[in-house]
Amino acid sequence: MVKINSTFDLEKQLLAEGYAFVIGTDEAGRGPLAVPVIACAAIVRNDKFQISSAAADKSNSNDQTCLPVGKVSNDKTWDLVRDSKMLSAKQREKVFDFILENFYVGIGICDHKTIDEINILEASFLAMKKAVTDLKTKFRHELPNFDNNIILVDGNKKIPNLSLYQKAVIGGDRIVKSISAASIIAKVTRDRMMLEMHEKYPQYGFDKHKGYGTKMHMEALQQFGPCEIHRQTFEPMPSLAKKHKR
């Protein structure tokens, strides 16, 4: 796999265009067969990132006047703020607290029942909206003029019914630092939740597969049937339900 380092280039460009904040959003948990989808919204903290008048005038990716500043600017941990899928679980845990120190972070959760009711795509968007709301609520004093922002959404679709400027970025978790940060926070938060679920439902092995449809998980479903935290609209749950009705 080719290593691609995410950068602050897009955030720099958008700040130079006049936006007060640039919010990266991403989710974790679209594909699993159990429990929630979790989204994160992240803004790099003001004291870590700033744009100068020179950057506003030039606004090009070669200008280095808008980068992480202060003692963290040379911290190699910044290199780990990239697509969560490119990191090991150990690396994600290592960089998790670093992101919380250097970004304002909001979390949004849609549980398995909501996913079954409105479908996983809509639930993912709803989780992102909740994450943006959580970000605004928690940091309302640190982030004045919050509505003068732009949201960068990982993927090719914008969040529907959200009255804020948005930009969909295909592969954003690989190339945009704020989206990368959001992807890691969402992933680690969900993985930690799956470890808690393992304590309650150890027969499924949630600590190993985190709810994804691995061979281990599918065999456990065949043996024990689904439990209350499984997504009932995801296969094999409907098929298992029909099987047990016979």
pLDDT digits (tens, 9 = 90+) for 2-35: 567 899 999 999 999 999 999 999 999 999 999 9
Q: What pLDDT score was predicted for residue 73?
A: 52
pLDDT, tens only, 187-205: 999 999 999 999 999 999 9
Q: What pLDDT score was predicted for residue 245?
A: 63
pLDDT, tens only, 81-117: 999 999 999 999 999 999 999 999 999 999 999 999 9
73 compared with 174, residue with greater pLDDT: 174
Q: What pLDDT score was predicted for residue 76?
A: 84
Q: What pLDDT score was predicted for residue 242?
A: 80
pLDDT, tens only, 28-73: 999 999 999 999 999 999 766 654 333 334 334 444 334 444 344 5
Q: Roughly how many angstroms between the first and final C-alpha of the chain, as a whole number?
A: 47
- From residue 97, how far is each of 20, 27, 103, 104, 162 by CA, in Å? 25, 18, 10, 12, 29
The residue among 210, 183, 174, 82 whose CA lies nearest residue 128 is: 183
Q: What pLDDT score was predicted for residue 152?
A: 99
Q: What pLDDT score was predicted for residue 75?
A: 74
CA–CA separation, 202 and 237 (whole Å): 19
* Confidence grade of residue 186 (pLDDT, cut at 50, 70, 90): very high
CA–CA separation, 240 and 162 (whole Å): 37
The residue among 63, 83, 61 whose CA lies nearest residue 10 is: 61
Taking 60 as the threshold, does the pLDDT of residue 122 lie above it?
A: yes
Q: What pLDDT score was predicted for residue 2?
A: 54
Mean pLDDT of 213-220: 98
Q: What pLDDT score was predicted for residue 145?
A: 87
Taking 70 as the threshold, does the pLDDT of residue 224 lie above it?
A: yes
Q: What pLDDT score was predicted for residue 46?
A: 72
Q: Which domains are present in the chain?
A: 9-199 (3.30.420.10)
Q: What pLDDT score was predicted for residue 70?
A: 37
pLDDT, tens only, 134-156: 999 999 999 988 999 999 999 99
CA–CA separation, 187 and 108 (whole Å): 12
